[in-house]
Structure 1
Amino acid sequence: MKNVFFAVGLFCFTTPVLSQENDTKKQDSVSMARRALTYGANKFAIVRPLNIEYTTVAPYKYTSKLGNTALPESKVTDFSQLKVSTTFNFIKTQKWMLGATLAYNYTRTGTDLALPEEGIDGVQKDYHYHYETLNFSYFSKLFGKTAVFTSSLIVDGSDQHFERVKGLVSGTLILKANARTKLMAGILVNIDPSSEIPVIPIFTFEHKFNSGFMIDMIIPKQILLRKQMANSWRLSVGTELDRTNLYLYGVNPQNRSQKYEYRQLDLNNGIVYEQLLGEHLVLTARTGLKWIAISRIFEKQNTFNDTVFEVTADPTFYFNVGISFNPFLKKTKTK
């Protein structure tokens, strides 16, 4: 699941949704790339030209295993993250689009467990993680429906080294798209030797009810019930997936040169508040209950399933606040 969350954002980012499928004149007059940019930017902050967000969680207890050895119950006293990203496009045409994403994550952790003889050092740690992507999208027709084909070259690493070069390839078919309902399905191929799920189906369903509520499902990324409360803000409730990636160095006393990777998969359950500031700035706040579904450390040259250290954590409360720049808001009149 290492790249699933970025990939789902890219999937929606490069998926043009037409207000009326049979409006051929409108399709010809407005570039498909422009609709793709508008739709994706209105859904995901990661694909906007600028996004800054901060996350913190309440202290929580956890149990862990080092190999097959169970360790005593411990407590995370501090876990906070700062994320900054930018997405921009070099070329946009009627049929294809070329762009890039640059992202940096700073993570600060604190724990009450310290086992230096086992190669695990608790107390306080700071981690730096970054990734850069080159994204290509091609718009076409398949079975009489709009089809979108994407590919991404991804490089990631830490403040010490560049670590991995990976790829993503996807194909998406827009099954239905009108003013009330949008239905899309696709397949994503994750080209990463360490990935445990190389092929991922993606399903998107969006429907607006007469009551003003909207169901927004993007599997496996999110399931949200949204309500536009006013022209400048909306409220959502539901579940969103999030992830954390880190590279670790020098933690093995028997082999200080060995590199490790930490991956954490979170299920964030709660409410999302979005407020439009001016014409193009969006303030977003999230809070609720976080469930850490997967938390593992493995040697970099191995796969995610070759676990060295594994954590089982109690649910905890989280809070996230962010601000992003969306240049498409004024033109689309959506928040």
Structure 2
Amino acid sequence: MKILKTIFVPLAILPLNNLVSAQKKDSIPKNVVAFITDKFPQTRDLNVEFTQLMPYKFSPQLRSENLPENKIKNFQQINASTNIYFIKGQKWMLSSNLNYKFTHINPENEISIFPGQQYREQDFHYHSESLSLTHFSKVFNKLAVFSATASVDGSDQHFERFRGMLTASVVLKATANTKMSVGLALMIDPSIQIPVLPVFTYEHTFSNEWVADIILPRKILMRKNIFQSGRLSLGAELNDSSFYLYPDENRYEYRQIEINSGAAYEHTLGENLIGTLKIGLRAAPRSRIFEKRETFNNFIFEANTKPALYFNIGISYNPFTKLKNN
């Protein structure tokens, strides 16, 4: 599939969302602050999540040879991330993102991928760090956002990949009810196939208070505030799981694209905390292992997995969160 490159898109479109969440006549730093202080901000200052998948079957293939069908009895993940924003002025913003993901996998039968290596119950550690510089300008009298991001990732043993990304976005519409933008993201990463990706964002509030929240190709959601301090979301989001393997002198990467479809409920817990509960169905169209120096298409191992039910619970700390409704 060609959607692998979208793993890094959320970092690129963050500054654009900051701007279109406020009115056009406000100053840029004020718009950014308004987005960060939203009751349910798109990104969280500090976020911790736990995900549990129900057992699911998968069909593995090693070097184009089909292997017997297997089953994952237990799949768990813990993800922790933090976002830090440094506002430098009317036209510049500096931001950073730190992320850590722990993955526990327990297959029903041993998986033999490398000579002398048998994978049964395993724990994997993955981390990534990025720094983004954003510039706000005007193009044809439209607000434009240009961003450059440098990132590095790795495991508990080594730093691995260094990546870069350049983005350009133009705000086409920014009213009280509708925000819309288009842009391009250029990925600098030898492991991806197509380095250029179009980006489209759209947010619209309907008369019944439901809100369409679309960031293509990352997510398509319908949201609505319920009760006094809650929000319900229905739809689908794109995610990924990635970690590194060290069976011999070479280094390998496991990469899996995931589509999570279902429902999410968020609830404010006091001034600065937000609790989140998600349930639904996870589909993983492609799960592959390839040498680090190769691309996602030049894989040695592939698994076609069956969809699985998932459960996710999380909590985030946002010191700038408002108590009032949007």
Runs of 4+ residues over 6 Å off in structure 1: none
Q: 2:279 aligns with which of 284, 287, 293?
A: 287
Is 2:204 aligned against 1:201? no
Q: Which residue in 1 is equivalent to 2:62? A: 66
CA RMSD of aligned residues (A): 2.0
Do the aligned partners of residues 298 and 233 (structure 1) sit closer, same or farther apart at CA in structure 2, a change above 3 Å counting?
A: same
Q: Which residue in 1 is equivalent to 2:189? A: 192
- Alpha-carbon distance, 1:188 to partner: 0.5
Q: Superposed, which structure 2 residues align to 1:214-293 within 5 Å?
A: 214-250=211-247, 256-293=248-285
- Alpha-carbon distance, 1:90 to partner: 3.7
Give, as a single letter, the amino acid of the residue that structure 1 aligns with 2:168. Answer: G
Residue 10 of structure 2 aligns to a residue whose secondary structure is: helix
Give, as a single letter, the amino acid of the residue that structure 1 aligns with 2:260. Answer: N
- Alpha-carbon distance, 1:310 to partner: 0.4
Residue 43 of structure 1 aligns to a residue whose secondary structure is: coil
Q: Distance in 1 between matches of 2:257 and 2:38?
A: 26
Tell which deviates more after alignment, 5-14 or 264-273: 5-14
- Alpha-carbon distance, 1:258 to partner: 1.1
Q: Which residue in 1 is equivalent to 2:83? A: 87
- Alpha-carbon distance, 1:126 to partner: 0.5
- Alpha-carbon distance, 1:329 to partner: 2.5
Q: Superposed, which structure 2 residues align to 1:153-164 within 5 Å?
A: 153-164=150-161
Q: 1:7 aligns with which of 2, 6, 9?
A: 9
- Alpha-carbon distance, 1:29 to partner: 8.4
The answer as to whether partners of 1:137 and 1:151 remain within 8 angstroms in 2 is yes
Q: Deviations over 1:5-49 (max 9, x none)?
A: 34224413443115433xx3xx248534434545797113xxx22
Q: Deviations over 1:123-164 (max 9, x none)?
A: 200000001111111111111111111111001000000001
Tell which deviates more after alignment, 313-322 or 28-37: 28-37
Q: Distance in 2 between matches of 1:314 and 1:187?
A: 33
Residue 42 of structure 1 aligns to a residue whose secondary structure is: coil
The answer as to whether partners of 1:31 and 1:93 remain within 8 angstroms in 2 is no
Q: Deviations over 1:144-199 (max 9, x none)?
A: 11111111100100000000110011011110011111111111011001112311
The answer as to whether partners of 1:53 and 1:320 remain within 8 angstroms in 2 is yes
Give, as a single letter, the amino acid of the residue that structure 2 aligns with 1:20. Answer: Q
Q: Distance in 1 between matches of 2:219 and 2:10?
A: 10
Any unmatched runs of 5+ in structure 1? 251-255
The answer as to whether partners of 2:12 and 2:167 remain within 8 angstroms in 1 is no
Q: Distance in 2 between matches of 1:39 and 1:148?
A: 21
Tell which deviates more after alignment, 183-192 or 115-124: 115-124
The answer as to whether partners of 2:60 and 2:69 remain within 8 angstroms in 1 is yes
The answer as to whether partners of 1:14 and 1:40 remain within 8 angstroms in 2 is no
- Alpha-carbon distance, 1:115 to partner: 4.5
Q: Distance in 1 between matches of 2:169 and 2:191?
A: 24
Give, as a single letter, the amino acid of the residue that structure 1 aligns with 2:65. Answer: T
Give, as a single letter, the amino acid of the residue that structure 2 aligns with 1:8. Answer: P
Q: Which residue in 2 is equivalent to 1:175? A: 172
Q: Superposed, which structure 2 residues align to 1:133-148 within 5 Å?
A: 133-148=130-145
Q: Distance in 2 between matches of 1:287 and 1:155?
A: 31
Q: Deviations over 1:245-289 (max 9, x none)?
A: 110111xxxxx1111001001111100101011112111111111
User: TM-score, normalising length from structure 2?
Assistant: 0.93
Is 2:55 aligned against 1:52? no
The answer as to whether partners of 1:76 and 1:112 remain within 8 angstroms in 2 is yes
Is 2:132 aligned against 1:125? no
Residue 176 of structure 2 aligns to a residue whose secondary structure is: coil
The answer as to whether partners of 1:14 and 1:37 remain within 8 angstroms in 2 is no
Any unmatched runs of 5+ in structure 2? none
Q: Distance in 2 between matches of 1:136 and 1:232?
A: 34
Q: Distance in 1 between matches of 2:62 and 2:125?
A: 24
Residue 172 of structure 1 aligns to a residue whose secondary structure is: strand
The answer as to whether partners of 2:110 and 2:120 remain within 8 angstroms in 1 is yes
The answer as to whether partners of 1:247 and 1:259 remain within 8 angstroms in 2 is yes
- Alpha-carbon distance, 1:3 to partner: 5.4
Q: Distance in 2 between matches of 1:2 and 1:268?
A: 15
Tell which deviates more after alignment, 163-172 or 325-334: 325-334
Q: Percent identity?
A: 41
User: TM-score, normalising length from structure 1?
Assistant: 0.90
